[in-house]
Structure 1
Amino acid sequence: MPNQNLFPPQQDVIEQGLLEKETHCLLNMATGSGKTFLAEIAIEKCLQRGFRAVYLTPLKALADEKYTSWLQRFKGYTVGLFTGDINLSNKSKKHRNYLDSQIYIMTPERLDACLRNWRTHWSWIPEIDLVVIDEFHLLGDKNRGPRLEGSITRLMRLNPFARILGLSATLANVKELADWLQGLHYVSKWRQIPLKKKTVRFSNPKDKFPLLIEEVTSCLDRGGKSLIFANSRSRAQTLAQSFKDIGLKAKHHHAGLNRDERKETEDAFRFGDTQVLVATSTLEMGLNLPARQVIVYDSYAFDGIGFTDLPVWSYMQRAGRAGRPGLDTEGEVVLFLPKWIGSIDKYINEECEPINSSLSISKAMAEQILVELFGGYSRTREDLIEGFLPLTLYYHQNPNANINKDINTLFLADMITIEKEEEDNSLKQQDILKPTKLGRLAVKLMFTPSSVKLIKEHYVKIDQFYYFDLLLLAALTEDCNPILRANYEDLDPLMEIVLSTPSCLLDYSLEKLKKLSDEYPSTLRILAAIKMAAICHSLVNNNSKTELALLFDIYEADIDMLKNNVVRLLDGMSAIFNALDPSDEDTEESSDDTLEISSSQLCKRLSSMLYYEIDSEGVYLTEIDGIGGKLAKELIGHGYSTISIVAQSRSEDLAKIPRIGTKLAKKINVSAQALLATEQDFEYIEQRLSPVVTQVKLHTANICPYRLRRSMELRLRGHDGNMYYVTGGSEDHRVVSGANGFICDCKDYEQGQSHCKHVLTVKRFIGDKLICNMLKNITEDKKHSLRDTLPSLWFSVPKPDQASKEVTYG
């Protein structure tokens, strides 16, 4: 008999016994149809049988939310939270150790770390009966998907009895994915609150906001709230402010806000009087934040390189937020599209993109091969080809896949080596593949092999590292995140920094730099790395995050994320340097009896400087017990600038410094004296250079360099007679050719810029001689030093004949 408290798909899943079958299962159900509730039932049954359960979520915010609610939901059981932000040495109940927990709330990366070091976690891994993977479509993400896929294959071998329960609303090829797992699948499009879909077409981008106001006010007049998705932070903020200007209570939400700010904004919309919330993709997954109306204001998304059509799966995730259970009889989904876009059936019919394995990317596959060998999951080339590869989704989708090239790449990178081993009952020898010291470090540090190779090649070829070089090297690695792209407006402050900063790499030309390693990224990525290194370098030279956020038009939360990641990278680089030359760990005497600091030590020192946001003088004081970054700054401010001065001071004098009492003063004094007795009070301090002001003249002809450069990222969607459709930016625009020249419908043209980036794009396409000649002369300067030619790097884009390819539309 049907349970009146269950939704129809929940009833189906339970009646079919899918939660209790001893096999894997994928639930492809619409947002709001009760997937999480089914997962909770499965977890409860698992716990009742005396086993452990793992819940994976890609979002740390959702992990926190689940931890809080499940403390009540699963009373009597121990719930542990394990994400990248958690320090397991913390003894609070929230940060339980692995053995104590019965429910493990994790990010996929945390599970990956456990499975890489499975011997350390063998006390609990065999007792796992259920692994719930929320947002299972993460498997197709080119950045995070490969590690999740690799983790699934390793878990199935370590514990073949553990069942996977995958949850998603956007698995277009769910049967294929279930077949890969040799499991079952269930599909339902039922929603508790039905959706009413609407498309708003506009002829001119300047018409969008008035049309948006009409849609929003219509919803608000009927007692609803509106959740709007925009494709950039700046647009989200601008739209929110525009709503405030007309008297509505609006807020914005994006990754530039810190966690507390995002939580405050979410609560204000969920429980408070905020009527309109404008968000980026931060709210399209995971968090339970429904609204009567969802508006997909921008039909383009930034993919890390440029703007492309919004994926259907992303549209579906956003649309799934529409409709509030218990408050709305239907949810409204409004999609904004320009009139010249042809068919929109893929959005209306929810023709979602299939999930494809990202292990097709050689670098991703190489990392998984290295993890296999490190963990002993595979030992030989045959094991990898016949044992590991067939377990992957990549092989399931590509039965002719060959990974020999990826294995050989690891040999060439000195990540793996061969050991001969005789088989037990035969004289035949087999080649055992073993990770080298570098390979083992890559796995332990969770660095990609390409990052380690890049670091190694710089260590071997660079005679002396300065602080900026180490920061730049960290920012150049694949593992650096977030990537803060350099904008045209960043060039002036960047030039000021690089011209006065000691650096070996900045004195290299672009051509010479790229010869250091074949792992070097694109020129624009190098420019972004210089920007990120400059931000970190400024942090350790007494510049505040507030000042830097204003200078580079970014958010303090971005700087925090960058800082934390670079600290991790510097610590790893120190270990890699030491592995390459163990003697590098020790301070050595040079021939002239001056004390030198090793590259490994320099990395450690810089890591501490960045962690505490303190300069090279003050960081030495943090080695004293009880002294952190803030107290070190206090000591310096009161004249205690070195360990020797602190050691020779009286405790009574130290106690007079704010925040240092009598007890701490004695502890500090004793610790400083001990340090002084065992170490020389050596300080490595770099002197700033005297900048030579240079001005780089980019081009003439009264064409704005910024607009010309931006036009090189755009392309034509198509044209109809004298009407051209320009795409590739945050919005499509129309350019009309007439007797008096070109007319564009963008705001820039309206404000008097006759050579806006869209007009320049069309001129490139039609072969305008002036523009094409200018483009021929705009190339990155590969011959002179980076510090002298920085602005030219910003013009590193495809050549004109490559950039103006026409694409069809409709």
Structure 2
Amino acid sequence: MKVADLPLPDALRSQYRARGIEALYPPQEACVRTGIFEGKNLLCAIPTASGKTIVAEMVMHRHIADGGTCLYIVPLKALATEKYEDFSGKGVRVGVATGDLDRKDTYLGKNDIIVATSEKVDSLLRNAAPWLSRITLLVVDECHLIASPDRGATLEMVIAKLRHRNPGMQVIALSATVGNPGALAGWLDAELVTSEWRPVDLREGVFCNGTIHFADHERQVPSKSKNDDLNLCLDTVAEGGQCLVFVSSRRNAEAFAKRAAGGLKLSETTLDDAADAIEREAATDLGKTLALCVRKGAAFHHAGLSSAERKIVEDTFRTGAIRVISSTPTLAAGLNLPARRVVIRDYLRFGDGGMAPIPVGEYKQMAGRAGRPHLDPYGEAVLIAKSEDGCQDLFEAYIDAPPEEVSSQCNSENALRTHVLSLIATRFVQSRGEVLSFMGETYYAYEHQGLQSTIHETIDRVIDWLVDAEMVTEFGDRLEATEYGDLVSRLYIDPRSAEKVVAALRGAPTYTDIGLLELICETPDMLTLFLRKDDAEILPLFLQDHEAELWTGVPYGSDEMEAFYASVKTAMLLSEWSDEVTEAMISEHFNVGPGDIHNKVETAVWLIHAASRLAYLFNRPLAKPIADLGTRVKYGIKKELLPLIALRGIGRVLSRRLFDLGMTTPQEMRAAGIGKIAPILGEKTAAKVLAQIEGKEAGDDAPAVEEEIEVKRERRQTTLSAFRGT
């Protein structure tokens, strides 16, 4: 089937022609024949690199040509950015939404394609983004993540809400690893296309004693080192290919990259340029180690790296300069980074019950990265066996096994609590019966047809909890969100987090920074740091000095104490960041990477903002100091820099330089003049900052006012006892 014969806009046809795309792959042709250009829903379950994204892109452009708006849901922020770049520059307007979780982001409605994570879409639904009602096409990338214990319920509920709101909307779901595609397609009322076809032949095998055993042949691998994993990489590089090595931990990824760098010993200008760029970005020893590896042709990739460091690694690998990347499984979760050979070295992972095999679907995601279209004659996915006896076991457990079935996660009380509240707050439902009726539209209901009593009981318990917490009121059979419940839903925090914060606020605590930080780190929304042996000495000493400042009591039970210590440790990291301790020192103190610091700071800023909004309801005098701490944590500054950081164009480093030179307020900056601030900020930035200051003093900008709660007055709280703190 020729691209020229498809009902596509001329601009897109030209783009494809320029990229050498003249005809569809067989699975793509099968998708077209199902009727996707006539509005049919589709579940496309085909291998990685078989053209799923192009199928979705073609249909999106068809909708746009007819005046429609398209929403493309991805699982990761990094993948959202990648898709945004893929879809841009093709004659349509593309927007990406990954930011604050309590905004309507009305501006996004000006775009033809909006790319967003499922959590962001859920928050947009809760905040009544008006453009969502205009969505004519929903694309769900990596739809198998409905089965994710952490995020699956959110993705499922987002799909159900959008289908409920926009009944005429077309849905296209994409995945390479669905064990039961028929069930998922049935729920979506979708045509199903499955295929094993790939543009590059995939050979899956098991390595043992110098030989890769494939199903129909064997391949000898020269022993250039003492390590099997490195030999597999050097063999691929020697024939002009690249290699991805998946390992179980960050430490293993870093250790292997060092060995690979020593084995490769490459020296190229492109590698030097990439290493120099990483060194300029590097604020920690981790970045410096990465630069050393990259200079020799190897790299590691995990969430501890900064986003800039990860991007340099990814871009340099795509050019072919970096030959080997060792990574934790995060790299397999959708990023377009294929290699000729993928080595799945570690197929056991440490969990709650000790070491356990990784899921088959995760193996398939990793193996699917093997083979670069138009560059490699084939792709190889190789497991490493410990012994000859283990070869057949690995074939049976992974290579010949189907991926796990996608199963709904919507019967968890913790998951349903936040989603039922959002249904009530956004008036999707207004009674218990309507909650049950809406849940009947979910994948859970489709999957468990005829077995609804369990979820009925769960929903009743969840609603009772929300009523007891005064987030929801119930008059007869009518459910309404209170002012408190409406706010919690729009803030996009777990209702249990809100209750923990509100309980502390109503206790009339004396405000302390560490008290608030430790409180938010105790909430279910904060993923705390791991405890290490050294912490057993440091944390008790810290508590001796700061216990009186904490807003929550010290628990007694050993399990509770471990969780408490983890929250205290995380609060210590955030405290150091807001006291302007450097990334390098924080990384050393807490044994974390820049990416970890960024992730903790991002979550903390969100939760502190939520706490400040809740404080307007329950303890208003604390709202301002809480909001100030949020600004300090966001930028990593001491309190004295707050007046300077409020100016656009001035960040953590520049505000400190200005302050240390005696310019502690905007007024003092204006008095100093451009001659003194330009050497610090640069001429252009200095001129813009001074214009801001002059404008504010002249009254051009409205003075800052305390942020008030947006209240829909028809939803006034009917029971006021919880609001006044007696």
2:335 maps to which residue?
A: 287
Q: Distance in 2 between matches of 1:627 and 1:214?
A: 50
* CA distance 1:131–1:367, change in 2 (3 Å): same
2:32 pairs, out of 11, 14, 20, with: 14
Deviations 1:387-418, CA, capped at 9 Å, x for gaps: 21101112222332222112112112222112
2:577 maps to which residue?
A: 539
Q: Distance in 2 between matches of 1:395 and 1:622?
A: 50
C-alpha deviation, 1:208, in angstroms? 11
2:264 pairs, out of 235, 247, 251, with: 247
Alignment of 1:411-560 (within 5 A): 411-419=467-475, 430-461=476-507, 463-481=509-527, 483-495=528-540, 497-501=542-546, 503-505=548-550, 508-511=553-556, 523-560=561-598
Q: Distance in 1 between matches of 2:600 and 2:497?
A: 17
Bigger mean CA deviation after superposition, 346-355 or 500-509: 500-509
2:614 pairs, out of 559, 576, 591, with: 576
Deviations 1:657-709, CA, capped at 9 Å, x for gaps: 554769966975996999xxx99xxxxxxxxxxxxxxxxxxxxxxxxxxxxxx
1:105 and 2:115 are equivalent in the alignment = yes
* CA distance 1:615–1:511, change in 2 (3 Å): same
Secondary structure in 2 matching 1:338: coil
C-alpha deviation, 1:624, in angstroms? 7.6
Deviations 1:351-387, CA, capped at 9 Å, x for gaps: 21111111121010111111111111100111112x2
Deviations 1:268-292, CA, capped at 9 Å, x for gaps: 2221322211111121022222111
Q: Gapped runs of 5+ residues in structure 2? A: 4-21, 211-223, 266-296, 705-726
Secondary structure in 2 matching 1:391: coil
Alignment of 1:379-418 (within 5 A): 379-385=430-436, 387-398=437-448, 399-400=451-452, 401-402=455-456, 403-418=459-474
2:15 maps to which residue?
A: none
Secondary structure in 1 matching 2:406: coil
2:642 pairs, out of 619, 634, 656, with: 619
Q: Gapped runs of 5+ residues in structure 1? A: 90-94, 420-429, 515-520, 586-597, 680-810
Deviations 1:735-792, CA, capped at 9 Å, x for gaps: xxxxxxxxxxxxxxxxxxxxxxxxxxxxxxxxxxxxxxxxxxxxxxxxxxxxxxxxxx
Q: Distance in 1 between matches of 2:190 and 2:687?
A: 66
1:56 maps to which residue?
A: 73
* CA distance 1:544–1:379, change in 2 (3 Å): same
The amino acid that maps onto 1:331 is G
Q: Distance in 2 between matches of 1:297 and 1:621?
A: 50
C-alpha deviation, 1:443, in angstroms? 0.9
1:80 maps to which residue?
A: 95
The amino acid that maps onto 1:131 is L
Secondary structure in 1 matching 2:408: coil
1:33 maps to which residue?
A: 50
Q: Distance in 2 between matches of 1:266 and 1:331?
A: 19
Secondary structure in 2 matching 1:377: coil
2:17 maps to which residue?
A: none
Q: Distance in 1 between matches of 2:562 and 2:226?
A: 33
Q: Distance in 2 between matches of 1:24 and 1:362?
A: 31
Check conservation: 2:102, 2:490, Cα contact below 8 A: no
Secondary structure in 2 matching 1:98: helix
1:563 and 2:608 are equivalent in the alignment = no
Deviations 1:484-522, CA, capped at 9 Å, x for gaps: 21222344454554444464338833139x9xxxxxx95
C-alpha deviation, 1:463, in angstroms? 2.9
RMSD between aligned alpha carbons?
A: 3.3
1:314 and 2:354 are equivalent in the alignment = no
C-alpha deviation, 1:112, in angstroms? 1.4
1:369 and 2:420 are equivalent in the alignment = yes
The amino acid that maps onto 1:28 is A
1:651 and 2:671 are equivalent in the alignment = yes
Q: Distance in 1 between matches of 2:605 and 2:118?
A: 22
C-alpha deviation, 1:235, in angstroms? 0.6
C-alpha deviation, 1:153, in angstroms? 1.3
Q: Distance in 2 between matches of 1:495 and 1:542?
A: 24
C-alpha deviation, 1:304, in angstroms? 7.8
2:713 maps to which residue?
A: none
1:609 pairs, out of 608, 632, 635, with: 632
* CA distance 1:209–1:140, change in 2 (3 Å): farther
* CA distance 1:508–1:271, change in 2 (3 Å): same
1:346 maps to which residue?
A: 397
Secondary structure in 2 matching 1:97: helix
* CA distance 1:335–1:168, change in 2 (3 Å): same
Check conservation: 1:26, 1:185, Cα contact below 8 A: yes
Secondary structure in 1 matching 2:356: strand
* CA distance 1:210–1:499, change in 2 (3 Å): same
TM-score by length of 2: 0.79
Check conservation: 1:485, 1:525, Cα contact below 8 A: no
Q: Distance in 2 between matches of 1:307 and 1:467?
A: 39
Greater share of helix: 2
Rg larger for: 1
Q: Distance in 2 between matches of 1:659 and 1:647?
A: 17
The amino acid that maps onto 1:511 is Y
Check conservation: 2:472, 2:485, Cα contact below 8 A: yes
1:186 and 2:196 are equivalent in the alignment = no
Q: Distance in 2 between matches of 1:308 and 1:23?
A: 41
Deviations 1:228-271, CA, capped at 9 Å, x for gaps: 11111111010010112223421111111122211211122221
Deviations 1:590-627, CA, capped at 9 Å, x for gaps: xxxxxxxx322221121122123222333355468987
The amino acid that maps onto 1:577 is A
Q: How many residues align?
A: 625
1:700 maps to which residue?
A: none
C-alpha deviation, 1:649, in angstroms? 9.8
Alignment of 1:646-685 (within 5 A): 651-652=671-672, 656=676, 659=680
The amino acid that maps onto 2:611 is M
C-alpha deviation, 1:170, in angstroms? 0.7
Deviations 1:701-740, CA, capped at 9 Å, x for gaps: xxxxxxxxxxxxxxxxxxxxxxxxxxxxxxxxxxxxxxxx
Alignment of 1:133-144 (within 5 A): 133-144=140-151
C-alpha deviation, 1:96, in angstroms? 9.0
C-alpha deviation, 1:455, in angstroms? 1.3
1:5 pairs, out of 23, 26, 30, with: 23
1:359 and 2:415 are equivalent in the alignment = no
Secondary structure in 1 matching 2:194: strand
Q: Distance in 2 between matches of 1:82 and 1:570?
A: 21
Deviations 1:572-596, CA, capped at 9 Å, x for gaps: 101112222xxx32xxxxxxxxxxx
Alignment of 1:298-337 (within 5 A): 298-302=346-350, 307-337=355-385
1:799 maps to which residue?
A: none
The amino acid that maps onto 1:604 is A
Q: Distance in 2 between matches of 1:65 and 1:649?
A: 40
Secondary structure in 2 matching 1:510: coil
C-alpha deviation, 1:104, in angstroms? 1.2
The amino acid that maps onto 2:348 is Y
C-alpha deviation, 1:440, in angstroms? 0.9
* CA distance 1:304–1:324, change in 2 (3 Å): farther
* CA distance 1:188–1:578, change in 2 (3 Å): same
Secondary structure in 1 matching 2:613: helix
Secondary structure in 1 matching 2:178: coil
Q: Distance in 1 between matches of 2:438 and 2:156?
A: 11
